[in-house]
Amino acid sequence: MLKRLSVLLIVLALVAAACGDDDAETTETSAATTETTAAGGDTAQTGDGVLATVQARGVLKCGVSGSATAFSEQQPDGSATGFDADYCRYIAAAVLGDSEAVEFTFLTAAERFTAVQTGAVDILIRNTTWTQSRDTDVGMDFAPTTYYDGQQVMAREGDGFSGGSQITDLEGATVCTNAGTTTEKNITELTTQLGVDITLNTFEDFNQVMDQYIAGACDAVTTDGSGLVGRKATQQTAGENWVIFPAFPISKEPLGPVTGQNDSQWLDIAKWAVFSSILFDEHGVTSANAAGRAGEEGEVGRLLGGDGELQTSMGLSADAWLNAVSQVGNYDEMFTRNLVPVGISREGSANASYLDGGLIYAPPAR
Amino acid sequence: MTIQIDEPRERHQRVPPWRNVTFLKWAAQVVFLIGILAVFWILGSQAGDNLDERGISVSFDFLADPPGIALAEGIDVRPDTGARALYTGIVNMLRVTVAGIFAATILGIIIGIARLSSNWIVNKVATVYIEIVRNIPLLVQIIAWGVIITTVPGNLELDSGPIGCALAEPGCEAWFVVSNKGASFAWLFPADGFWQWLTFLMIGVGASIWVYRRRMRLKEDRGDETYALTWGTLTVVVFAAVGWFVHPIMGFLGYLWGWIADLFDALPVWTIQTVLALLAVFFAGMWIKGFLDDRRTPAGLAKLTDDDIFRIGSAAAAGLAGVVLFFSFAGISDWILNSGRDLFSVMDSKFEFLEGGSPLAMSRPSIAQPGNFPNYGATGLTMSKLFFPVFIGVTIYTAAFIAEVVRGGILAISKGQSEAGLALGLRRNQLLRFIILPQAFRIILPPMGNQYLNLAKNTSLGIAVAYPEVVAVGQTLYNQTGATIPVVILWMLFYVSVSLFISSIVNWYNRRVALVER
């Protein structure tokens, strides 16, 4: 009896000791890592920030959708192509020097926030709408908007719809969308306000939604306008004409990258990745001519790592944005490569540069 | 010479604590309990610190906030609060579970007995069914049924269903309509006089049990066949038939329900609290008394072991906790009063003296088009394209397992029993009814309960076909509010409660039919 008692006490003591020591150990190792990687930098954060973790790991873990046409589409070899996937590569090139050092994680709308909250992915670029509740309640921080979108509905012309149809024409319809999205909330709110009676079916995966719509089990689908345009371009059944309405979207859907909460250094990196891509577009710096323009004076030179550059004080290497734009391209190149083929253009939309009357604007790099 | 007699007795009576068995036992248990609590406290505080650091909330506020979502089906498709949304999801889950348990049991028993049939075709069909269904994962089956219901039947039209008559003709209603929006059947629903008729029927059931018992006693006394079962069934049928026309008389009970409802309204809360507290003390006392009586021998009360003392202590503590609980949380008693009053008011409204039409009404499917799209109307029993795959999927899957359980139970009865029965001159169906099935029932019951639990938990796969049961609704909620951990806690509590409830019913029935051993 006594022997058993003493063994138990020793086990408990060991457990308590192990738990108590954990905190001290991790802070020591991560402080050492930050010191070695932030050469010359003095604003490197002590403790385990995401930048330190990514640099130590050598790979950027990026959360994307996998089923968002033109934004992130899953490829057979496990990678992703699309506008959001390209931004993952842009950030990987900036932080790690190699745009292919990305590990894509394909997340449903239900899983994405938990993945960011718990740090399972370093950054989430998954056409996520920036809303007040997500910024505060859910525990994430938003980088600047890369695509200004709006929610619309798609139905068949054969059922009596046209581009000028209104939400009130959906009376009695079965509308399908993604579960756990702002889309769901918006359509519910709007139909309650207008007194329109619809049956809302919400699915985990948008591919499932489209299958139901094509089979006729759903009368209409709703999601961001860009998603609808993409699906119409790739999946419209021969002989049918799918119309997208209303002409003016029913909600604002500013889409952009998302990071975990309270990591200012990492959020700054995400922010200035987006801003640098926009500034490169404003100055006409492309993947082809970036290397040649590295010695220029002014904003372009600073962004490309010349005199007065600010990348090192952020914890990155001086040529971070140079690597990113040479390997992936600027905002316009990424947009043209991915979104123009499905029929989305920048001209006349909110995604044109501010110089052309749109909303794509970046603060100065000074 | 003085003889020292006291010393040996002293040495026996005072053993030092570190050699005293009783003390050591208690001390070890207390230390172990402290150790376990300490480990949990360390883990819990660590988890709490990590959650705070990442900004993940563990509050249950989302239950009171409007969720802003619509559900595809349920008792409340536009819930006002998160709690109401989860409640709708729970009701949806229970709908599938209860319907599935009944359907799977019936189908499973049929297939299980079919597999034992001597008819080769019936036997083989049952075998193929079981082998195929058992070996395909349920998720795959549910998704398959979902795909079938959305692609195979075709679109719902206003003037006819794929199976049914042209609804455009006046006075013509379909019996059965299947489309990619779901399936709708003709069904009997309770109508105006249903509850009054039911009360009459219950009196009939009581009368028939009395008739049956009398006839059985007569049979045992006299020795010849008195057809007790036939007389009993006949009594029920007669009461049901007479009650169909006569049930308005039962409406006088409405006055009783109304009076009880007023009584509930008039009672102050402290009466219920006192009653509940007294009940708690009473039940604890009765249990302790029964416990002690079990240990009473003709030579007096047996020595109580530590375990016994622990149990008595727990019972007393439970009684005391009940008293404290009921007095400090007036909400419970308040809820009982309100629910009682509401229940009896509803019953009052259903019982009208000398009024009430036909108890059951046949409701046939209809198709309505309020806007641009036709959909099922309000009549008939409609299974939406979301409910259908989940219900059919879990029923067919669980029926295969229940069939094997039934077959195993019947085969477990030794061959000697059927040989003896046949030797006595019983026919095959009498053999099954009187000898095999009663014994097999005892063996079948625990695994059957297991399958019911599996069915209840398998309904959570409904999320794959967007059926809005509690897991799907919970996921949507935690996505919109970020409250992942509270939702998961609620899920676990709900499933544990449902499973414990089902298993307690099965265990109670099991104890009743168990063999009493010496």
pLDDT tens-digit profile of B140-150? 999 999 999 88
| Backbone conformation region of residue A78, classed left if phi is above 0, alpha if psi is from -120 to 50, else beta | left
Q: Which domains does chain A have, with CATH numbers?
A: 50-147+254-356 (3.40.190.10), 150-253 (3.40.190.10)
Q: Give the minimum alpha-carbon distance from B156 to chain A in angstroms, rounded to a whole number.
A: 9
Scanning every residue of chain B, which has its alpha carbon at the shortest distance from the alpha carbon of A218?
A: B181
pLDDT of A19 reads 54
> Average pLDDT in the A59-72 region?
92
Distance CA B250, CA B196 (A): 6
Q: Average pLDDT over chain B, rounded to whole?
A: 87
Among A87-101, A283-297, B353-367, top mean pLDDT goes to A87-101
Residues B129 and B398: their CA atoms lie apart, in Å, by: 12
Q: What pLDDT is recorded for position B7? A: 54
Q: Lowest-confidence range among A227-241, B48-62, B121-135, B255-269? A: B48-62
Going by pLDDT thresholds of 50, 70 and 90, the confidence category of residue A71 is: very high
Residue B241, CA atoms < 13 Å, CB-side half-sphere = 6
Q: In angstroms, rounded to a whole number, what is the distance separating the alpha carbons of residues B505 and A320?
A: 67
> 0.80 cut: is pTM over it?
no
Does A85 lie at the interface with B, CB-CB under 8 angstroms? no
Q: Is the pLDDT of residue B424 over 50?
A: yes
CB contact under 8 A, B39 and A15: yes
User: In chain A, which residues have their Cβ closer than 8 Å to the Cβ of B32?
Assistant: 8
Between B176 and A247, the more confident residue is A247
Cα(B277)–Cα(B268) distance, rounded to whole angstroms?
Answer: 15
- Measured distance CA(B104)–CA(B390) in Å, rounded: 13
Residue-level pLDDT at B327 = 87
Name the residue in chain A with its Cα closest to that of B374: A172
Rounded to whole angstroms, the Cα distance separating A94 from B79 reads: 46
Mean pLDDT, range A228-254, rounded to an integer: 91
CA distance A276 to chain B (A): 28
Per-residue confidence band for B12, with pLDDT thresholds at 50, 70 and 90: low
Which residues from chain A sit within 8 angstroms of residue B374, using beta carbons?
172
Q: Do A117 and B46 touch (CB under 8 A)?
A: no
Contacts 24+ apart (CB under 8 A), B279-287: B279/B322, B280/B318, B280/B319, B280/B322, B280/B323, B280/B326, B281/B319, B281/B322, B281/B323, B283/B319, B284/B315, B284/B316, B284/B318, B284/B319, B284/B320, B284/B322, B285/B319, B287/B315
What pLDDT, on the 0 to 100 scale, is given for residue B286? Answer: 92
Contact B475 A179 (CB under 8 A): yes
Using CB atoms, which residue from B35, B46, B70 is nearest to A200? B70
- Give the Cα separation of B92 and B471 in Å (integer): 11
CA distances from B107 to B110, B111, B115, B401, B407 (A): 5, 6, 12, 11, 13
B235 has pLDDT over 70: yes
B88–chain A nearest CA distance, Å: 15
Q: Which of A159, A180, A187 lies nearest to residue B480, judging by beta carbons?
A: A180
Q: Is A202 on the interface with B (CB under 8 A)?
A: yes
Q: Chain centroid to CA A245: how far?
A: 25
Phi-psi region of A198 (alpha: psi -120 to 50; beta: other; left: phi over 0): beta
Contacts of A187 in chain B (CB under 8 A): 70
Distance of alpha carbon A61 from the chain centroid: 12
In this prediction, residue B1 carries a pLDDT of 58
CB contact under 8 A, B482 and A174: no
The answer to whether B373 contacts A191, with C-beta atoms less than 8 Å apart, is no
pLDDT at B163 over 80: no
Position of tokens 């297939």?
B111
Question: Which residue in B has a C-alpha nearest to residue A181's C-alpha?
Answer: B480
CA distance B382 to B359: 21
The 10s digit of each residue's pLDDT in A275-296 is 999 999 999 999 999 989 888 8
Interface residue A159 vs chain B (CB under 8 A): yes
Q: By percentage, how much of chain B surpasses pLDDT 70?
A: 93
List CB contacts (< 8 A) between A170 and chain B.
Answer: 371-372
Report chain B residues whose CB lies below 8 A from the CB of A12: 35, 38-39
- Residue B257: both structure tokens together: 């329900």
Instruction: Encode pLDDT of B171-230 as tens digits.
Output: 446 777 888 888 888 888 888 788 888 888 899 999 999 999 999 898 888 888 778 888
Whole-angstrom Cα Rg for chain B = 31
Q: Which of A110, A172, A188 sits opposite B68 (nearest CB)?
A: A188
Q: Between A30 and B136, name the one with better pLDDT.
A: B136
**Distance separating alpha carbons of residues A98 and A58, to the nearest angstrom:** 10
Highest mean pLDDT among A88-102, B52-66, B304-318: A88-102
Q: What would the mean pLDDT of A37-57 be, rounded to a whole number?
A: 64
Residue B135's pLDDT is what? Answer: 95
| Residue B78 to chain A, least CA–CA distance (Å) | 8
Return residues 127-146 of A near B (CB < 8 Å).
133-134, 137-139
Residue A112 has pLDDT above 70, yes or no: yes
Pick A144 or B14 by higher pLDDT: A144
Residues of B in contact with A211 (CB under 8 A): 150
Q: Which span out of A132-136, B37-41, B47-51 was modeled with the highest average pLDDT?
A: B37-41
The count of CB pairs under 8 A between chains A and B is 150
Taking the Cβ of residue A221 and every Cβ of chain B, the question of whether any pair is shorter than 8 Å is answered with: no
pLDDT at B308: 84
Q: Which chain A residues are Cβ-neighbours of B181 within 8 angstroms? A: 174, 217
Compare B229 and B394 and report the one with higher pLDDT: B394
Question: Quick one: how far is CA A175 from the chain centroid?
Answer: 26
Contact call for A217 and B181, based on CB within 8 A: yes
Q: Considering only the beta carbons, identify the residue of B54, B70, B375 that sits closest to A188.
A: B70
| Chain A hits for B464, Cβ within 8 Å | 204
- Identify the residue among B69, B481, B488 best suited for mutation to test binding to A, counting A beta carbons within 10 A and taking the highest: B69
- Min Cα distance B375 → chain A (Å) is 8
Residue A195, chain B, CB below 8 Å: the answer is no
Q: How many CA atoms lie within 13 A of A341 on its CB side?
A: 10
Residues 22-81 of A with CB under 8 A from B: none
The residue-averaged pLDDT of A115-131 equals 91
List the beta bridge partners of residue B497. Answer: none
Residues of chain B positioned with their CB less than 8 A from the CB of A161: 372
Measured CA to CA, the distance from residue A129 to residue A226 in angstroms comes to 13
Q: Which helix (H) or strand (E) holds A177?
A: strand A174-178
| Chain center to CA of A174 | 30
* Per-residue pLDDT, A279: 94
Write out chain A residues lying below 8 Å of B467, CB-based: none
Question: What would the pLDDT profile of B491-514 be if each residue is shown by its tens digit?
Answer: 999 999 999 999 999 999 888 888
Name the residue among B69, B150, B375 with its Cβ closest to that of A215: B150
- Per DSSP, B379 falls in state S
Does residue B408 carry a pLDDT above 90? Answer: yes
For domain B82-186+364-513, give the fold.
MetI-like fold (1.10.3720)
Whole-angstrom Cα distance, residue A103 to residue A114?
18
The span from the CA of A45 to the CA of A30, in Å, is 10
Question: What are A290-342's pLDDT values in tens digits?
Answer: 989 888 888 999 999 888 889 999 999 999 999 999 999 999 999 999 999 98
Amino acid B159: pLDDT? 56
Q: Over the stretch A142-171, which tens digit does the pLDDT of each residue have?
A: 999 999 999 999 999 988 898 888 999 998
Q: Which of A113, A137, A201 sits opposite B72 (nearest CB)?
A: A201
Interstrand relation of A72-74 and B300-301 (parallel, antiparallel or unpaired): unpaired
Measure CB to CB from residue A1 to each of B24, B181, B368 and give the nearest one.
B24
**A280–chain B nearest CA distance, Å:** 34
Q: Which of B436, B455, B477, B476 is nearest to B103 (CA)?
A: B455
d(CA B326, CA B328): 6
Residue of B nearest to A129 (CA): B480
Min Cα separation B299/chain A (Å): 34
| Segment holding B381, helix H or strand E | strand B381-384
Q: Which two tokens stand for residue B84?
A: 């109401």
Q: A276: burial class by Cβ within 10 Å (0-12, 13-18, 19+)?
A: buried
Which residue on chain B is closest to A110 by alpha carbon? Answer: B479
* pLDDT attached to residue A34: 39
Rounded to the nearest angstrom, the minimum Cα separation between A303 and chain B is 32
Flag if B54 and A117 touch (Cβ within 8 Å): yes
Residue B162 has pLDDT above 50, yes or no: no
Record: contact B42-A15, CB cut-off 8 A? yes
Task: State the pLDDT at residue B253.
Answer: 84
| pLDDT score recorded for residue A44 | 40
Chain A contact probe: residue of B372, B465, B476 with most A CBs at under 10 A: B372
Q: Does the beta carbon of A201 lie under 8 angstroms from any beta carbon of chain B?
A: yes
Closest residue in chain B to residue A15, using alpha carbons only: B39
Give yes or no for a contact between B428 and B106, defined as CB atoms under 8 angstroms apart. no
Question: A342: helix, coil or strand?
Answer: helix
- Confirm or reject contact between A352 and chain B (CB < 8 A): no
pLDDT higher than 70, residue A31: no
**CB spacing of A8 vs B46 below 8 angstroms:** no
Higher pLDDT, A360 or B429: A360
Give how far B96 is from chain A: nearest CA, Å: 18
